Chain A
Amino acid sequence: MNVAVAKTGNGRAVSDLFASAEGRLPGSPSVIAVRREAFETYERLGLPHRRIEEWKYTDLRALVGEVLPLAANPDAVALKRAAEAVKAHAIAGARKLVLVDGVFAADLSDLKALAAEVSVKTLREVLTNEANPAAGDLLQTASTDAVISLNAAMATDGVVVSVADGTHLSAPIQVIHVATAAGASAFTRSHLRIGTGVRATVVESFVAAGKAGGYQVNDAVILWVGDDADIAHIRLMDDAPDAVNVTSQFVTVGANTKLNFFNMTTGAAVSRLQGFITFSGEGSELSANGVNLLQKTEHGDTTLVVDHAVPNCVSREVFRAVIDDRAHSVFQGRIIVRPDAQKTDGKMMTRALLLSDEAEADNKPELEIFADDVSCGHGATAGALDDSLLFYLKARGLPEKQAQALLIQAFVGEAIEQIADDGLREHVIGIAERWLERRS
């Protein structure tokens, strides 16, 4: 685009980022070649900005400025801090896979318990396997933008999980991303391959160890779900308040499969979850629930592209935002219905609860329909807490803040109720309650 773009805010050449990290980026020579190419794409594009339509409301150049250098490999002290964070954020009964500052931490993970039901490798392991000529494919995705390209170039680690046909997981898998380093970036990329007839719950949690802050996360998830599966995929973006988290996820859904997707953002100064979900088999159902809980000057963006590439699939997106102070919530939802995708039923709804006069919500629903026998739609509501409900609660003895909290919990609870697993649901409610306690 232009030369200026290839500089960071303080004038450092962007290419330094890659050059200084290259020795630490795992991969066979063919993988390194893929990384180089991806980095060249990033260098050409620079950080996304408002003149790029998909990033109109989330101008990373203005909001973030520069990409921080790669975080160091976690040392013993960092791992000890991470262990404490894992303890605090682990879901009761779930089996953990832990990434610390972008590096897989075997000692903090439940590899033994998982081995009985699933296959787990690390991204590093796969990328460095010289006998695998296709290793570089793990860094390729259908669509690429600057942040995805940067992720391909810089990803240090991740988990590569595959669940064999017919497996019913006895416990949820929780991938915990822990940041311990301040002023550094972690790049992770994970692959989840879920076979036919599988029932599984996969959770990804993003947390900070202790007072770690000012870090950046760039994560990518490639999820492939086979036929006749029933999958819950839950993301809990609970980063430090001054962190940056940009996550891209690519999901392919087979036939007659149910996928329940849930995301809740309760941290990070700037966050974006961009999901690209494609139906590749008929008769499948996607239910996507998003919750943004934002305060102070936080900026939270959820962008979902649901591609009905085949007929007879159902997609339901309900996106809720609770926005306080001067925070800014963005929801962009696009439903694409391909020419052959008749009988598609795709709906999206956004509901914003604005707790202050300066709170901001931007919604951009888009329907791209190329088939003629479909049922698609979108709706949006925005408003403050209902005064008559607040008065009723206060007249029953609840102080203002507590009355507000109860109504906010009810608003968010409608989304959380969709989570079937009891322990997980309680865990998510706990995160929402802590967010409410942080409100000034």
Chain B
Amino acid sequence: MALLEVKDLKVRVEEREILHGLTLTVNEGEVHAIMGPNGSGKSTLSHVIAGKPGYEVTDGQILFKGEDLLEMDPDERAAKGVFLAFQYPVEIPGVATMTFLRTALNAQRKARGESEYSTPDFLKKVREVSKSLNIPQDMLKRGVNVGFSGGEKKRNEVLQMALFEPSLCILDEMDSGLDIDALRIAADGVNALRSPGRAMVVITHYQRLLNYIVPDFVHVMSKGRVVKSGGKDLALELEASGYAQFEDAA
């Protein structure tokens, strides 16, 4: 059974159809890149999988481990193992990062019927992961993402990914707003999380990110559909030729 099956998905936002029948299958352990020009529907796909309000699914389905994802609230999806790394992580003043991390982790564990982490175990785990991501401890005491640089915000997303141990990670434009050094640190963090039991969907406009996170499969989206799929070489091909050919094809 596939980990994620998106079948003929049609999605509207305020009466306008954005996805016109999108199909995508992701198996455990695979890394898929979704590329495409602005407005092709890449971010819409990630939002619909995570359960963001404001999108109306008019047709098709999304199965996650064989279950109907569209029937679940966003928090249930998270507890089942879906993680969306936000393109623009929000700032939450007044909620300390540490409090947020523990509350979220324990909420997910509770939803799965697992015992809550003890404080020492939790702290140990956070310290380990944040050290590997080069996240200073004092950052964790601040409000969630408050005053963080673009790179710090993305590293905070990767930190959460490492803590929550999701089986599906969707990285929405992880490279936006990052310089090369920041991108490398974040990408190293992501690569460290690649495992046979975990799949990733990397959404990006640019091929650059895929030099750091090398995908198994590349899909090109245009006008709300996947118009071409292939191996990692497809990304290089796109880099050379651009998206124009697909815009015509779609």
Does A associate with B in a complex?
yes
Asked whether, in the complex, the Cβ of B94 is within 8 Å of the Cβ of A411, the reply is: yes
Question: CA–CA, A396 to B156, complex, Å?
Answer: 13
User: When the two chains form their complex, are residues A398 and B94 in contact, meaning their CB atoms are under 8 A apart?
Assistant: no
Q: A387-B53, A391-B52 are in contact. Are A396 and B94 (CB under 8 A)?
A: no
Residues from chain B with a CB closer than 8 A to the CB of A402 are: 103, 107
Question: How far, in Å, is A422 (CB) from chain B's closest CB?
Answer: 16
CA of A307 to CA of B93, assembled, Å: 33
B68 at interface by CB-CB < 8 Å: no
Q: How far is the CB of B157 from chain A (nearest CB, A)?
A: 10
Alpha-carbon distance between A199 and B172 when the two chains are bound, in angstroms? 54
A411: chain B residues within 8 A (beta carbon): 94
Residues of chain A contacted by B111 (CB below 8 angstroms): 397, 399
Residues on A with beta carbons closer than 8 Å to the beta carbon of B95: 406-407, 409-410
* A64 sits at the interface (CB 8 A): no
Q: Once bound together, how far apart are the Cα atoms of A400 and B73, in whole Å? A: 9
- Of A388, A397, A407, A414, the residue contacting B75 (CB under 8 A) is A397
Q: Which residues of chain B from 33 to 84 have a CB within 8 Å of any chain A CB?
A: 50-53, 73-75, 77-79, 84
- Expressed in whole angstroms, the Cα–Cα distance for A399 and B107 within the complex equals 8
Closest to B111 in A: A397
Contact partner of A392 (CB less than 8 A), chosen from B53, B86, B99, B108, is B86
**In residues 385-432 of chain A, which contact B (Cβ within 8 Å)?**
386-389, 391-400, 402-403, 406-407, 409-411, 413-414
- Complex Cα distance, B107 from A396, in Å, reads 9
**B100 close to A397 (CB less than 8 A):** no
Contact partner, B73, options A387, A389, A394, Cβ 8 Å: A394
B92 on the interface (CB 8 Å rule)? yes
The 8 Å CB contact of A395, one of B51, B94, B103, is B51
* One of A389, A396, A407 near B160 (C-beta < 8 A): A396
Between A392, A399, A409, the greatest number of chain B beta carbons within 10 A of the residue's beta carbon is seen for A392
- Select one of A388, A399, A403, A410 contacting B90, CB under 8 A: A388
Taking CB as reference atom, which chain A residue is nearest B163?
Answer: A396
B112's nearest neighbour on chain A, judged by CB, is A397
Q: Is B98 an interface residue (CB 8 A)?
A: no
Query: Which among A386, A389, A397, A403 is the interface contact of B108 at CB below 8 angstroms?
Result: A397
Closest chain B CB from A49 CB (angstroms): 39
* The one of B73, B89, B94 that contacts A414, using a Cβ cutoff of 8 Å: B94
Interface size on B, residues (CB 8 A): 29
Chain A residues contacting B90 (CB-CB under 8 Å) are 386, 388-389, 392
A151 to B189, CA, bound (A): 66
* Smallest CB gap from B82: residue in A: A395
Category for how many chain A residues contact B: 20 to 34
Q: Is the CB of B104 closer than 8 A to any CB of chain A?
A: yes
CB–CB A406/B100 < 8 A:
yes
Closest to B79 in A: A397
Query: If the complex has contacts A391-B52, A410-B94, are A398 and B75 also in contact, measured as CB distance less than 8 A?
Result: yes
Which B residues, 91 to 135, have Cβ-Cβ distances below 8 Å to chain A? Answer: 92-95, 99-100, 103-105, 107-108, 111
User: Which of A387, A399, A400 has the largest number of chain B CB atoms within 10 A?
Assistant: A399
Docked pose: A403 CA to B164 CA in angstroms: 17
Q: Is the CB of A400 within 8 A of B94?
A: no
Q: Which chain A residues lie closer than 8 Å to B75 at the CB level? A: 394-400, 403
List the A side residues contacting B53 at CB < 8 Å. Answer: 387, 391
Give which listed residue, A397, A406, A407, A414, contacts B78 with CB less than 8 A: A397
Q: Which chain A residues border B78 with CB–CB below 8 Å?
A: 394-397
Minimum Cβ distance to chain B for residue A391 (Å): 6
Whether B50 lies near A395 (C-beta < 8 A) is yes
- Please give, as numbers and ranges, the residues of chain B lying within 8 Å of A387 by CB-CB distance: 53
Find chain A residues with CB under 8 A from B50 CB: 395
- CB neighbours (8 Å) of B92 from chain A are 389, 392-393, 407, 410
Chain A 96-138, CB within 8 Å of chain B: the 1/0 string? 0000000000000000000000000000000000000000000
Q: Are B103 and A406 in contact (CB under 8 A)?
A: yes
Enumerate chain A residues within 8 angstroms of B99, measured Cβ to Cβ: 406
Distance between B13 CB and nearest chain A CB, rounded to angstroms: 15
Q: Which B residue sits closest to A406, measured CB to CB? A: B95
Question: With A389-B90, A392-B92, A410-B92 given, is the CB distance from A398 to B103 under 8 Å?
Answer: yes
Residues of A within 8 A of B100 (CB): 393, 396, 406
Q: Is the CB of B51 within 8 A of A398?
A: no
- Asked if B107 and A398 sit within 8 Å, CB to CB, the answer is yes
Instruction: Determine whether the beta carbon of A409 is less than 8 Å from that of B103.
Output: no
Task: List chain A residues, Cβ under 8 A from B105.
Answer: 397
- Which residues of A from 355 to 395 have beta carbons under 8 Å from B? 386-389, 391-395
Report the separation of the CA atoms of residues A397 and B51 in the bound assembly, to the nearest whole angstrom. 12
The smallest beta-carbon distance between B72 and chain A, in angstroms, is 11
B225 to nearest A CB, angstroms? 25
Nearest CB on B from A433, distance (A) = 13
> How many Å from the CB of B150 to the closest CB on chain A?
16
Task: Please give, as numbers and ranges, the residues of chain A lying within 8 Å of B104 by CB-CB distance.
Answer: 393, 396-398
Assess the B94–A413 pair: CB atoms within 8 A: yes
Residue positions of B touching A, CB distance < 8 A: 50-53, 73-75, 77-79, 84, 86, 89-90, 92-95, 99-100, 103-105, 107-108, 111, 143, 160, 164
15 extra interchain contacts, Cβ-Cβ under 8 A, other than A409-B94, A413-B94, A414-B94?
Answer: A391-B52, A392-B92, A393-B100, A394-B74, A395-B75, A396-B75, A396-B78, A396-B100, A397-B164, A398-B103, A398-B104, A399-B111, A407-B95, A410-B143, A411-B94
Closest 6 CB pairs between A and B? A410-B94, A397-B108, A397-B78, A394-B74, A396-B104, A397-B107
Q: List 15 A-B pairs, Cβ < 8 Å.
A: A391-B53, A392-B92, A393-B104, A394-B75, A394-B78, A395-B52, A395-B75, A396-B107, A397-B164, A398-B104, A399-B75, A400-B73, A407-B95, A409-B94, A410-B92
